Structure 1
């Protein structure tokens, strides 16, 4: 079955079959786009990937262990169990067809809970972004933040309430 994507021309919504990037109407831009991609790839070779892997993804032993956990078959099994338990419905807003599984208490804060099914919840992308921002404030997780001695919240409804309260405070500012 062929795969399709949108034309890269701004404002054009025509569908293009892989591996092309532009529709028939804008195909004259294809060669220039491919040349730019190759130029970028040459300048961002192994050093770029090495920097990403060593300084961002695997910046310390804890982050390296977390990354390895998310690549494990144990995580894949837990993730599938959580999705099926929650019927692919976001536990924060109720949106169906959500395919992301999130740790209720982040493993960066308490890594002993990383493989507990009751610490996992299905979450949509929008809620995941809000929850991550809330975790940075509540637990002090994330790059450059200092971990706080906060109370671990295991209840999705309490977290949802605090996330929305935080979101409303940000919009008023």
Structure 2
């Protein structure tokens, strides 16, 4: 038995054979529907991928280097070392089962701390989001921002206070 579906025209309950979306009465809408779906299928398109890589991911040589670092074995082993050291507990709020590792002083601000385990801490998703927002204000990190000449903060407790509007 062939696979069928209901016609996509509102109010029409006629069954049509796959891969069609409309019955014979409403078939003129088929081309329009397929064209509207094309914008959602562009994610694997080479032009879109190239634009993402050159504009966002690899926008500078440093960003390209950072991306390659995070894909390497050195980062994977360093990340696992920190997760084991911190027992998968967020160092900012104490939430258990956190599995993200973050640089306390962002590497965009200080490249020297990229592979330093003392500059790494386990962090949960919500704290990571809040810390990223705070880093953009304090250090000036992020796309389109300018780095500021400020004192790097390595104490996670002080960062938590500053993230929450204190000191």
> Normalised by the shorter chain, which TM-score bucket?
0.7 to 0.9
List, as ranges, runs of 4+ consecutive aligned residues in structure 1 with deviation greater than 6 Å: 35-38
For residues 33-57 of structure 1, the C-alpha deviation after alignment (integer angstroms, 9 at most, x for no partner) is xx79973225861101110111000
User: Is 2:101–2:123's contact at 8 Å kept on the other side of the alignment?
Assistant: yes
Separation of aligned partners in 1, 2:54 and 2:121: 29
Separation of aligned partners in 1, 2:37 and 2:158: 49
Residue 88 (structure 1) aligns with: 88
Separation of aligned partners in 2, 1:37 and 1:47: 19
Structure 1 position 107 matched with structure 2 position 107: yes
Secondary structure of the equivalent of 1:48?
helix
- Structure-1-length-normalised TM-score: 0.73
Name the Cα RMSD after superposition: 2.1
- Structure-2-length-normalised TM-score: 0.75
Secondary structure of the equivalent of 2:122?
strand
Gap regions ≥5 residues in structure 1: 1-30, 167-173
Separation of aligned partners in 2, 1:51 and 1:43: 11
Number of equivalenced pairs: 134
| CA displacement at 1:132 relative to structure 2 | 0.3
Separation of aligned partners in 1, 2:43 and 2:161: 46
